[in-house]
Structures are given as C-alpha cells and as structure tokens.
Structure 1
Amino acid sequence: MNKLITILGPTASGKTPLAAALAREVDGEILSADSRQVYRRMDLGTGKDLADYTITDAQGTVTIPYHLIDICEPGTKYNLFQYQQDFFDAYEDIVKRGKQPILCGGTGLYIEAVLKGYHLSPVPQNPELRASLEGKSLEELTETLKELKAKNGSIMHNTTDVDSCQRAIRAIEIETYNIEHPMPLRELPAIDSLIIGVNIDRELRREKITRRLKARLDEGMLDEIRALLDSGIPAEDLIYYGLEYKYLTEYVVGNLTYDEMFRQLEIAIHQFAKRQMTWFRGMERRGFTINWIDATLPMEEKVQAIQQLMATQK
C-alpha cells in the first residue's frame, strides 16, 4: 500500500501546485485539508485555485483528481467530526484503487486529527446553552471557553478560528458536550504519513498574501460574497466562516469602508498564517516529523526532493 503523503504549510506557500505536480509524477490523488474549501460556490474567498489541479507538460494536459472540495452547501456548519468521516472514506477509496493518496492543506487541526485518529463524536446544537450565551462579548466567551478547555484537558479546539462570537459559542457548545457525554461513536485508525512542510520566508509570505488578496478582489471576490448573500445565506452565516467572508461581508452590508475592510483583512490573513506555522511547530513538539522544503526552490527540485524522501520510506 502506498504510504500517505501530507503536504502542509501556511497560506500562500504554494502547497497546492506542489501537491498537484507530485501527484502527476506518482499517479496520485489529492485530499484537501482545508476547513472552508468544503463549501460550494465559496471559491475565491477560500482560495480553491482549482486551475492548479490541471497540469500541462510534454505528455499532454491532465487534471489531478481531488477530494473533499465542494462537498457541502454554504450556510451549513461542517465540522471536524464530519471531516474525519469524509476523509477516511475518500482515503480508503483512493488506496483501494491503487493510487497514491496526498493530503494537502493548511488546517492543522484537520491534518492532525486524521493522522492521529482522534476519537470524536458529533455535537448537536444546544439551544438553551446558546440562549444563555447570547449577548456576551467575544472576550467573555473566550474566557468561558478557556475554563471549559482547562476542565476537559482539551487541545482539540482550533482557537485560531475563534474570531467571532458565533464561532466561540460553537466551541463552548462542543466543550460542554464533551464534558457531559462519553466520546467516540466511530473509531478511526491513526494513519502513518510522510509529512512535507513548505517553508516560506516571513517577508515573502507577507508579500504573496497581499498580492494574492489584491488579485482575488480584482477577480470578483466581492461579487462572490454578494451572490452568496443574494442566494439567501444570512450575513451572520458568512461572517462565521471568518477571514475573507467575515470582512468582505462586513463591507457589503455597510459596516466597514473598503479601505477598512482591506486593511483589517490583510492583517487578519497575516496573523492567520503566523498561527498556522505555530500549529505546525506544535505538531513537531507533539511527535510529528515534518520534512521542511524551501518554497522558493524550482518545482522540479521540490518534487524530486519529496520523491527521494518517499524512496527512503518504503
């Protein structure tokens, strides 16, 4: 059986093109590890860059198969438990067909959960709890969450995503449920993986983030937000998804000026990328070996470096 290859890195590090180029060489298929790319019609804001999966070379043009992208409707609250189930089903299917599975993304919690085989149960909404938390500030909610996490001994919740009251309330709901209920419903095995990290210089990363944000706005990211709102998705549901969806929605509904939106969003993405790196460094402290590759190397050299590592793992 082909060992899972995991390619991780912060936003704008070039993970997807690298995963696609590798997949072309090793007859692979890509499993996305991105908590927002699961949503249909949320394309520019989540950075799907689907064109990256199509490769043209001397042998012709090929589209690399990908999984766990565009699998649910905007407005729904996809979660880690669902991701684990969906990942494992897709992973088993790829392995059964004799293809090379490649996990690629920047949501560290999702990556760590499937590699470790976290034991999770689905957490239903708790209307009474939600009512009791309504009106509390983000600071108060964050404090409540910290106390619950301390009781649970929990490192499961991805605090990098608690950037709105709605997200914080959902996190509190999960922690409260985990205190009151025994865990796993379906146990999934840990998966051994060769992990590749794409290492990008901080200043280059900042430059690429700003350039990419401008490009996506030029490509119609605001039109994407307006179309989602026009389709009946409430503004607060889009704000829940954070980053681009939070700030662009705030602009569209008139809560921010264009300049305020751009400046605040740019800062938020820089902070997000920094937190992604903090998570990956934490994974190393928790026992994962990450083989870091320089993002600025030519694509061919990066692919060859990974193939050499793959050869030593067999």
Structure 2
Amino acid sequence: MQYNLLVVLGATATGKTSLAVNLAKEFSGEIISADSRQIYRGMDLGTGKDIEEYVIDGTPIPYHLIDIVDAGYKYNVFEFQRDFVSAFEDITQRKKLPVVCGGTGMYLEAVLKGYKLIAVPNDEVFREEMKGKTIEELEVILRSYKELHNNSDIETKKRAIRAIEIERYYASNPQIDMSYPQMNPLLVGIKFDRESRRDRISFRLKQRLKEGMIEEVQSLLKSGVSADDLIYYGLEYKFLTQYAIGQISYDEMFSGLEVAIHQFAKRQMTWFRKMERSGSDIKWLDGYMPLDEKIDQVKEWFSV
C-alpha cells in the first residue's frame, strides 16, 4: 500500500511528539497537530506543546495547527477538519509527507474517516417517522444513500437515524461541496501499561508545575482571558485557574488535576480501542522501545 499520511497517536505523556517529529525528519515530512488545545496561543505548558522538540540537530521541523487562535476562543471539530484539509493539501502539493500527531480521538476520526462536518439541522418530523423502524430496516435505508465501511453509523438506532437524516440533507442540497482528499494513512500508536502511564503522567505534571504552568495561567488571566473561558478548556486550565482565583488550595489543585489527567488518559485509550473496533488498523509500539527502534519499526511498516 502506498501511504500518503502518517499518524502518531496515543494517550497523554506517551512521547508522541518526539516520535512524530523524528519521523517527519526521516520521511521529509511536516507535522499536523491533532490536539484540541494546542491550537491556542499562550497555552503552552498546559497543553504540552513541547515546541523545543520540533528542532532536530539544529533543523526545525515545520508544524501546522499549533498557535492558530487566541486563548478564549472556542475552536471546534468543524473548524479543525477544515484547517486540517487545508494543511494536508498544502503539504502534499509540496511533495512532503503529512505526519499527524495527537491524542484527540474525535479530531483524528473526523479527518481519517472524512466525516461530513456540515451543521445539518435536526429534522424532528423525520426522526418521529423513523422511530418505529428496526435497526436492520434503518441499515437498509442508510445503505441506499452510501456504502458503509464500518458499523459505527448503525451501532444504535439513534445513530442510524441521525446518519440517514444527514445523508438526506446532503442529497437534497447538492450544492454543498463534500469533496475530501484521498487518504491512505498508516496509524501508529504508542502505549504503556497502565501503571507506567500513571507514573509518567504524575512525573510530567510535577515537571510542568516547576517549569511555570501556574504562572502561565496567571499570565493568561492578566491578559484578559476570563476565568470561565480557561475553565472551559478543562484539565490543567480548569484546576490551575480555580487555584489561581482562590477557589481551591494547592493540594486540592494538584490531587484533583492528577486524578483528572489519569482519567483523561484512560478515556483516550478507550476511544482508540473504539476506533479499532470500527475498522481502524492501529499498529502499536511499546512505549519502552528505544526511539531509534521505534523509528526503524515505523519505517518497516511504511515500506510494506
């Protein structure tokens, strides 16, 4: 298979950035971030941008979809898909390899499966008409609109009805441009056992606090970003903001954030397993493999 896209995914604190950047260097590629928070300017330590890793032996590795909007803005998956396609086409037109790096499962699936992310309005009358049909009947109707490459759209009646509702809308609005670039991705995941992942998360949290993560949040607040907007972003920005404005103590912030990140990493792995059940072929690397061995293994997969 001729791959035209390389994806490096995994839970938080698994070393995705280092591997992706080194692979981009090996394959003459450029990074496209698939992280829902790294798009915000000024949110650096809390989102784990690790910009210093984008330079190898003095050579900067180009990256996209990092620092593209101001903190306080509520960027969404619709915008991500649009911006991703733009970056993908720009990179490929210059004969470079797009290397996606990130752990936001929804963003990854949106671009890998080419979801038609148009704000299709709800049709309550149609939903009522479909409510009495079986999942098998709904599947037949959906197949009359499109080929099903996996079972994700027919996992439940609710999802099947919404999928049909969306396809009906597209069929009745042919002026909508639904073109999508052809992608043949190699999906590479990095994983650690649960206890190792927890240890890495805790270590990285302490390290980032030492590096000034609290000061980063204080600076954002001073710049005019509201506490509510920062709390909206969740995880580090939620707990650090609550601490910065005096709602919780340092110990409450640290313990609460530590637990929240562990839970987040667990949800990330659950999402990746769901992707696999839906047909995504993720080739997993043991996180403890030396970096050069990881690179060699990916090069071997890529050349098949």
TM-score (normalised: structure 1): 0.79
The answer to whether the aligner puts 1:100 opposite 2:101 as a matched pair is no
Over 3 Å counting, the alpha-carbon distance change for 1:123 and 1:39 in structure 2 is farther
* Contact in 1 for aligned 2:3/2:302 (Cα 8 Å): no
Give the distance between the partners of 1:188 and 1:266, measured in 2 at CA: 42
Aligned partner letter, 1:233: V
Over 3 Å counting, the alpha-carbon distance change for 1:122 and 1:50 in structure 2 is farther
Give the distance between the partners of 1:4 and 1:154, measured in 2 at CA: 29
Over 3 Å counting, the alpha-carbon distance change for 1:296 and 1:188 in structure 2 is farther
* Contact in 2 for aligned 1:121/1:186 (Cα 8 Å): no
Q: Where do residues 192-207 of structure 1 align in structure 2 (5 Å cutoff)?
A: 192-207=184-199
Look up the match of 1:68: 65
Shift of 1:192: 2.1
Unaligned runs of 5+ in 1: 125-149, 157-177
The Cα offsets for residues 245-274 of structure 1, whole Å up to 9 and x where unpaired, read as 000001111111000000000000000000
Give the distance between the partners of 2:102 and 2:5, measured in 1 at CA: 14
The sequence identity of aligned pairs, in percent, is: 55
Look up the match of 2:53: 52
Over 3 Å counting, the alpha-carbon distance change for 1:155 and 1:192 in structure 2 is farther
Look up the match of 1:134: none
Give the distance between the partners of 1:283 and 1:23, measured in 2 at CA: 24
The Cα offsets for residues 58-81 of structure 1, whole Å up to 9 and x where unpaired, read as xxx211111000000111110000
The answer to whether the aligner puts 1:244 opposite 2:236 as a matched pair is yes
Look up the match of 2:261: 269
Give the distance between the partners of 1:121 and 1:155, measured in 2 at CA: 17
Look up the match of 1:174: none
Look up the match of 1:187: 178
Over 3 Å counting, the alpha-carbon distance change for 1:292 and 1:188 in structure 2 is farther
The Cα offsets for residues 205-234 of structure 1, whole Å up to 9 and x where unpaired, read as 111111111111111111111111111111
* Contact in 2 for aligned 1:118/1:188 (Cα 8 Å): no
Could you say what secondary structure the match of 1:153 adopts?
helix
Look up the match of 1:161: none
Q: Where do residues 141-156 of structure 1 align in structure 2 (5 Å cutoff)?
A: 152-153=158-159
The Cα offsets for residues 1-48 of structure 1, whole Å up to 9 and x where unpaired, read as 851011100000001100011111111101000000000000001110
Aligned partner letter, 1:42: M
Give the distance between the partners of 1:154 and 1:253, measured in 2 at CA: 45
Shift of 1:191: 2.4
The Cα offsets for residues 97-143 of structure 1, whole Å up to 9 and x where unpaired, read as 0011111100011001101000112599xxxxxxxxxxxxxxxxxxx
How many residue pairs are counted as aligned between the two chains? 262
Over 3 Å counting, the alpha-carbon distance change for 1:188 and 1:9 in structure 2 is farther
Aligned partner letter, 2:271: W
Give the distance between the partners of 2:61 and 2:25, measured in 1 at CA: 7
The two structures, once aligned, show a CA RMSD in angstroms of: 2.3
* Contact in 1 for aligned 2:5/2:99 (Cα 8 Å): yes
TM-score (normalised: structure 2): 0.81
The answer to whether the aligner puts 1:301 opposite 2:298 as a matched pair is no
Unaligned runs of 5+ in 2: 122-155
The answer to whether the aligner puts 1:224 opposite 2:216 as a matched pair is yes
Could you say what secondary structure the match of 1:82 adopts?
helix
Could you say what secondary structure the match of 1:206 adopts?
helix
Look up the match of 1:162: none
* Contact in 1 for aligned 2:3/2:185 (Cα 8 Å): no
